[in-house]
Amino acid sequence: MTDMWAVASLWTGLAFVASIISSRLGIATALCEIIVGIIAQYAYGTWSGHSLSAQSPWITFLAGAGAILLTFLAGAELDPDVFRLKWKEATGIGLIGFFVPFMGCGAIAHYLFHWSMPASLLSGVILSATSVAVVYTVMLESGLNKTHYGKTLLAACFINDLVTVLMLGFLFSPFTLKTVLFFVASIALSVASPSLTSKMFSRLGSRPSELETKYLLLSLFGLGAMASWAGSEAVLPAYILGMALARQVGKDQALVRRLRTLTLGLLTPFYFLRAGLMVSVSALVLAPMIVIFFILGQIASKFIGIYPITKLFKSPPKEAFYTTLLMSTGLTFGTIAALFGLDHHIITHAQYSLLVVAVIGTAIIPTLIANTFFLPRHLLEHHLLLEEESLTDQSSAESL
């Protein structure tokens, strides 16, 4: 137990350092945690010759739980009314944001680097995904998650990642009875959850025992277990359940704040630090051009596909660039798909390291550029103005 507590203390310390850097430099905390993880692993590995226990089962569980809860919260932030209003834009951005990079990055792997066709197809899948974890964290820290723009962008991320998971399963996973049962159970729970959750919260909620949180964790972990049993990923049903409970959970700001405290304070640092710790610096040193070509190819293909769609829906240039850059961020499903390929011998360990480094690069570079040069602050100012007007009207009505 001594070693476990020491490792937990070290990882928490790294997360604390990343938070300080984030607050000082104004960079998203998730990206700082990834960078700190890369540096810490390289420094510690060089000094001691050992790793920082990134593959330990308990750390893997905490990181996975962080990804699930963060994805659930992102789904719960989606406003069904906004999605119905903006579904064409979200669907167009999500679909194009997958298929253009899928073909472009797959072609780079096959024709430029002469990788096998299965490895090339998997590379296309890996580099097509948009990280809900990164985008939602950026939306949350900037406040854009409360705007129609931010909710539409999160909906586009969902469409993109849904197609990513389906394509990964279609190309590489066997379609079995387990898969059918998993999808049926996910859909049934998503349909039944809103009514059941409303009754549960109204009768037993608002107690010190945090029954709401335990109920949600039970649902998420249960779906995660079924997803793993069916050969799928636990993050996808978490997003779907979050969308289904958007009215019940997303509107309860006190519950959302408590879930954010648990997720961002404890769990997601393990996920983002682990993503950085998994990077092989030696693989990057041996073949840096492959990583650079993958990063540039992914960003370029996202721009070729997404930017025209945003202009088609009359987005101003600043918002169009910001949307395109954030849709270029990879991490969650990209690393999941890469690990899937490694476990099933579709790619080699060297290819896995190069792809993961490229995915992490796409999580860092576009986000830094987007937040530095294209952050649509005018949307935040407009949203704050609307909130102030709403509060003023409410106060006037109460006084009358």
Tokens of 214: 């335990």
Please give the pLDDT value at position 70.
84
Distance CA 126, CA 356 (A): 9
**Residue stretches of the chain with pLDDT short of 70:** 26, 49-51, 173-174, 205-206, 381-400
Distance CA 98, CA 113 (A): 21
* 108, amino acid identity: I
Q: What burial class does residue 380 get, using C-beta atoms within 10 Å of its C-beta: 0-12 exposed, 13-18 middle, 19+ buried?
A: middle
Please give the pLDDT value at position 101.
95
Residues with Cβ within 8 Å of residue 122, at least 6 apart in sequence: 168, 171, 172, 337, 338, 341, 346, 347
Residues in the chain: 400
Please give the pLDDT value at position 384.
53
Chain-centroid distance, C-alpha 200: 29
Please give the pLDDT value at position 174.
65
Three-class DSSP labels, the chain: CHHHHHHHHHHHHHHHHHHHHHHHHCCCHHHHHHHHHHHHHHHHHHHHCCCCCCCCHHHHHHHHHHHHHHHHHHHHCCCHHHHHHHHHHHHHHHHHHHHHHHHHHHHHHHHHCCCCHHHHHHHHHHCCCCCHHHHHHHHHHHCHHHCHHHHHHHHHHHHHHHHHHHHHHHHHCCCCHHHHHHHHHHHHHHHHHHHHHHHHHHHHCCCCCCHHHHHHHHHHHHHHHHHHHCCCCCHHHHHHHHHHCHHHHHCCHHHHHHHHHHHHHHHHHHHHHHHHHCCCHHHHHHCHHHHHHHHHHHHHHHHHHHHHHHHHCCCCHHHHHHHHHHHCCCCHHHHHHHHHHHHCCCCCHHHHHHHHHHHHHHHHHHHHHHHHHCCCHHHHHHHHHHHHHHHHHHHHHHHC
Please give the pLDDT value at position 349.
80
